[in-house]
Structure 1
Amino acid sequence: MHRPPTAEAGIAEELAAVRPGLLPRYTAELPGARAAVLTRLWRALAHEPLPWITGRTPGPHGLALRLADGRTLRGPHADPYATSAYVTAVHLDRRPYEDAARLMMALAVPHGTAFAAELAHSAASLALSRAGAEQPRQWPERDREWEWEQRVVDGHPFHPNCRSRPGFSVADQLAYGPEHGPVVELGTVPVPAADCLVSGRWPAELRDGDRLLLPVHPWQATRVLKRPYGIWCPARPLMSLRTLAVPGGPHVKTALSARLTSSVRDISVYSVRAAATLSAFAEELAARTDGLLHITRTLGAATAHSPGLAALLRESPRQYAAPGEWVLPVAALATTSLPGCPTWLAAFTRLALTVGLRLLDLGVALEAHGQNLLVVLAADATPLRLVYRDLADIRLSPARLVRHGITPPGLTGRLLTDDPEALRRKLFGSLVTGALAGTAGSGGTLAAALETVLPDLPATADLAFLREHPLPAKALTLMRLSPGRSGDIWTALPRPGSEAATVLECGPSGQ
């Protein structure tokens, strides 16, 4: 098999043209970025149901994977909850591989060539992100909550495509990537109101007579829509890159038809149609959490009946933090020191599971990963309550809602399911094997927090599942290697504490 084109050299060439002063730092960051992507890939090879891996044999010095073609792949013990880049090389038979893209090419599996190109871009783009990221202050100013979002330099803690941004040039990444600290000039595209679907209230400042002014990301307008746009206002990109914070105003979720990690990001007509109804219902449900959870309201949503030209306006999570408090996405917790780490993590785990399990029992499964879930901290960093944003992919169980005397919202389609497995996968696969694991940074640390918290939680069938079964997680690599299959593919991870890696860790991880 031929090696994929070297993304590292391509980014270096572009960087030399647009930001030559950053080139030495980029070069210095490449080895660590390769290890970070290889670590994520090794996790997938060790724990996902990949059809061309026929056996996994742990030993005193690591893990051996038997391939269908008779070869053997060897590497360290794989902690599925680790966020540090602990894999610097694996051996395919006797040949070492330090680069995930070259390893994927050598494996020669179906659809591996395209995935190898994504892995190469992920590592090179991650090195660029680390090189360009500003060193954060200990705590941002409380009216600059977007600074927390910029600290999540490494992207998804477990996806090998953690920083893959195909279609983005180096100049695009520097101009729009939140880790580079840019200010983005949001634009608007005028569309006849009669040609739009609107959910909720659309603000007067985004109307022009009989036309709606739909907010648009400049990359989308230039690269996808290929049409002129008017300048609306400066904004700060948040973790998701396509959602931006308007100073003193809402958060604006724009359509951005680019593949980031796994999915092409746009805003479906279904999401716009459901937005107002779902937001009102979520506000009612949050009231049942005794003040432990707030859900940011969707102020308005509009689409020109096209996933590529649509926008949602949401409240800023800052609305739910009192003076003297901070609110930050859970993914940012791993980028700063946590006071009294085990005690703090147990308190946060108790808060998150109390809220998540209560809503799940009522019939609402949040997609509570580290981007959607935020935590409100007291001045001494004590976790007080949670804020949830982006309702586009939660799941609702009409049967559970009715059982608790709650009238289901007037919705149809993919958001509704009574399947307990689907509901548990949605919550536990995002909250436990996602947000909590990413915060803990290792299986041992996560196990200690769960052992402290689980005995005290109210008994439900969902809690019993969490205590007794392997934990669900998306098979992120298998999904990328299955281009003809739609929807999520799942795997089961060993319970925290049962894997080999049990070292307790505190403070920054994955950097």
Structure 2
Amino acid sequence: MHRPSPVEAEMADELAAVRPALVSRYAAALPGARAAVLSRLWRGLAHDPLPWVARRVPDRDGLTLRLADGRRLRGPRPDPYATAAYVTVVRLDGVAYGDPARLMGELAVPHSTAFAAELAHSVASLALSRANDPGEDGVGGWDRDRDQDWEWEQRVVDGHPFHPSCRSRPGFSVADQLAYGPEHRPLVELGLIPVPAGDCLVTGVWPEWLRDGKRVVIPVHPWQAAHVLKREPSGRTAARPLMALRTLALPDGPHVKTALSARLTSSVRDISLGSVAASAVLSEFGESMAARTGGLLHITRTLGAAAAGSADLAAVVRESPQEYAAAGERVVPVAALPATGLPRSPAWVARFTRLALTVGLRLLELGVALEAHGQNLLVVLSADGEPVRLVYRDLADLRVSPTRLAHHGVLAPELPARMVTDDERVLRRKVFGSLVAGALAGTTGSGPALRAALESAVRDLPRTPDLAALCGEPLPAKALTLMRLSPRAAGDEWGELPNPLQDERR
């Protein structure tokens, strides 16, 4: 029998105090959570460019990693696009490990101790999320026929489909997770903090209901107010947390993105002053570029953004994606598609893949590289469940090529320097790594299924250099495990995955 890790045991004790009815379900969910995180970790160990992996030796039955210090790590043959938990044991010099945190601790590579703690938290939090999942019985008021956008988002229980830290929320207690985690379906009371207008940077049209005379009222996540700002808000408003956790849906429609100075998955989720300053220009630019897709893509407009002197007290108000649904249509985040219960035949997946690639490659050709992962990219479904167009939200991480834009007669707007590049490798990484290795892989759930969808879709796409790169080169993907083991490295780290469109025998 597996001995619970200290983090798993600590969370069980907390759960017994705040939600005792979930204790037995939590314990039952732990083995599956360990396998889910271990499968994500094995993906990274098998494919990320880790400096302490000297050689990877595949065979009919699995894969052996020969480490630089002479040890051998062996596991099943990896499928980098699998979303099911298919790894239950990995052997290090013949010793079996089913707990990803213990395996990482035993590897004892640089920064592995901190990453092991993160993995332990990911396992325990994932088990908690699964323990409180209503499933198909509708517990907690879930009705899959409702069209409230937050309801679709709260069906994503497991978090990022490929990140080992998919549910890691250091600094969040069990009570915090139950109170704020979208998969727990809470109603969150956003704090309202008024700040003198002269002390604020405001762009766009800040809503009137968030003004108080000469003061700007900034919505604040309650965790941020208590743990970072350490101040009591003067007012509160109810909202529903979305997949991003720090972004919440207000009852009357708009979404509020709040600063949350906690590490969720990989990053501390603050809102930089630069992104606030650029938000209105970026929103207008995004709309104008989406208009060049022939109605296949809409961008959720940023209504207003405000920051009171730092990234810790800032917020962005933007449209709900539901604004772009006609009568009878529903807008669903791509990451939530597997949880909707909607039938997705291979033919449906191929049609959706063709739609997504058409939009992604068209914008890339124009000079805009979307980070179209499953959280930012949403699909508009007709009344009978067919994918008809796309919606994209949160423009903060896209990349823009002035040269490509100029080729199409478009002047690049004034944007933060980190967003501007003519490097084709950077532009393609952004699109292919998020859209293909992320959103589409997560939708199909395996390498063979992804290959079938891509093969069907690319036949009808314009033959461009970007398409040739997509079809003929290894597929870029963020090296998520390497990034967690490289805490001092700035920016993203990248790896290469086997391209499903290339013959595996080559």
Superposition TM-score, scaled by structure 2 size: 0.96
- Identify which of 390, 394, 399 aligns with 1:395: 399
> 1:30, 1:142 → 2: CA distance?
31
Residue 456 of structure 1 aligns to a residue whose secondary structure is coil
Letter in 2 for 1:13: D
Which residue pairs with 1:508 in the alignment? none
Which residue pairs with 1:260 in the alignment? 264
Would you say 1:200 and 2:204 are equivalent positions? yes
> 2:212, 2:316 → 1: CA distance?
18
Letter in 1 for 2:65: L
> 1:160, 1:393 → 2: CA distance?
21
Residue 417 of structure 2 aligns to a residue whose secondary structure is coil
1:413 CA displacement: 1.3
1:141 CA displacement: 4.1
Cα-to-partner distance string for 1:356-378 (whole Å, 9 max, x where unaligned):
00000000000000000000001
Which residue pairs with 1:458 in the alignment? 462
> 1:481, 1:340 → 2: CA distance?
37
> 2:361, 2:105 → 1: CA distance?
42
CA contact (8 A) 1:185 1:231 kept: no
1:336 CA displacement: 3.4
1:412 CA displacement: 3.9
Which residue pairs with 1:505 in the alignment? none
> 1:360, 1:233 → 2: CA distance?
39
Which residue pairs with 2:292 in the alignment? 288
Which residue pairs with 2:73 in the alignment? 73
Residue 182 of structure 1 aligns to a residue whose secondary structure is coil
CA contact (8 A) 1:134 1:180 kept: no
Which residue pairs with 1:47 in the alignment? 47
Cα-to-partner distance string for 1:449-474 (whole Å, 9 max, x where unaligned):
11111121011111110010000000
Cα-to-partner distance string for 1:271-325 (whole Å, 9 max, x where unaligned):
0000000001111111111110000000000001211100000000000001101
Map 1:76-87 → 2, pairs under 5 A: 76-87=76-87
Would you say 1:8 and 2:8 are equivalent positions? yes
CA contact (8 A) 2:335 2:442 kept: yes
- Identify which of 343, 349, 352 aligns with 1:345: 349
Letter in 1 for 2:63: L
Would you say 1:92 and 2:105 are equivalent positions? no
Residue 410 of structure 2 aligns to a residue whose secondary structure is coil
CA contact (8 A) 2:472 2:501 kept: no
Which residue pairs with 1:160 in the alignment? 164
> 2:194, 2:246 → 1: CA distance?
19
> 2:143, 2:191 → 1: CA distance?
31
Cα-to-partner distance string for 1:326-358 (whole Å, 9 max, x where unaligned):
101000012234535100000000000000000
Identify the range of structure 1 (117-126 vs 332-341) with the bigger mean alpha-carbon deviation: 332-341
Which residue pairs with 1:230 in the alignment? 234
Residue 395 of structure 2 aligns to a residue whose secondary structure is coil
- Identify which of 468, 484, 503 aligns with 1:480: 484
Cα-to-partner distance string for 1:462-504 (whole Å, 9 max, x where unaligned):
111001000000001111111111110000100126698xxxx
> 2:61, 2:282 → 1: CA distance?
51
> 2:299, 2:375 → 1: CA distance?
14
1:143 CA displacement: 3.7
- Identify which of 184, 193, 199 aligns with 2:188: 184
Structure 2: gaps spanning 5 or more residues: none
Which residue pairs with 2:372 in the alignment? 368
Letter in 1 for 2:311: P
Letter in 2 for 1:153: V
Map 1:204-353 → 2, pairs under 5 A: 204-353=208-357
Residue 190 of structure 1 aligns to a residue whose secondary structure is strand
Which residue pairs with 2:20 in the alignment? 20
User: CA 1:139–1:342 in 2, change beyond 3 Å: closer, same or farther?
Assistant: farther
- Identify which of 129, 149, 152 aligns with 1:148: 152
CA contact (8 A) 1:367 1:427 kept: yes
> 2:438, 2:503 → 1: CA distance?
17
Residue 487 of structure 1 aligns to a residue whose secondary structure is coil
CA contact (8 A) 1:256 1:308 kept: yes
Q: Give runs of ≥4 in structure 1 deviating > 3 Å.
A: 136-139, 497-500
> 1:421, 1:491 → 2: CA distance?
12
- Identify which of 405, 429, 434 aligns with 2:433: 429
User: CA 1:214–1:269 in 2, change beyond 3 Å: closer, same or farther?
Assistant: same
Structure 1: gaps spanning 5 or more residues: 501-511
Cα-to-partner distance string for 1:33-73 (whole Å, 9 max, x where unaligned):
00000000000010001011101111121111101111111
Residue 394 of structure 2 aligns to a residue whose secondary structure is coil
> 1:296, 1:383 → 2: CA distance?
18
CA contact (8 A) 1:352 1:386 kept: yes
Identify the range of structure 1 (354-363 vs 225-234) with the bigger mean alpha-carbon deviation: 225-234
Identity of aligned residues (%): 69
> 1:22, 1:4 → 2: CA distance?
17
Which residue pairs with 1:107 in the alignment? 107
> 1:421, 1:10 → 2: CA distance?
45
CA contact (8 A) 1:4 1:117 kept: no
Letter in 1 for 2:436: V
> 2:501, 2:462 → 1: CA distance?
23
- Identify which of 495, 502, 506 aligns with 2:499: 495
Map 1:111-130 → 2, pairs under 5 A: 111-130=111-130
Identify the range of structure 1 (133-142 vs 151-160) with the bigger mean alpha-carbon deviation: 133-142
Which residue pairs with 1:506 in the alignment? none
Which residue pairs with 1:509 in the alignment? none
User: CA 1:499–1:47 in 2, change beyond 3 Å: closer, same or farther?
Assistant: farther
1:209 CA displacement: 1.3
Aligned residues: 498
User: CA 1:4–1:119 in 2, change beyond 3 Å: closer, same or farther?
Assistant: farther
Residue 298 of structure 2 aligns to a residue whose secondary structure is strand
Which residue pairs with 1:32 in the alignment? 32
User: CA 1:97–1:463 in 2, change beyond 3 Å: closer, same or farther?
Assistant: same
> 2:222, 2:307 → 1: CA distance?
17
Residue 81 of structure 1 aligns to a residue whose secondary structure is coil
CA contact (8 A) 1:188 1:216 kept: yes
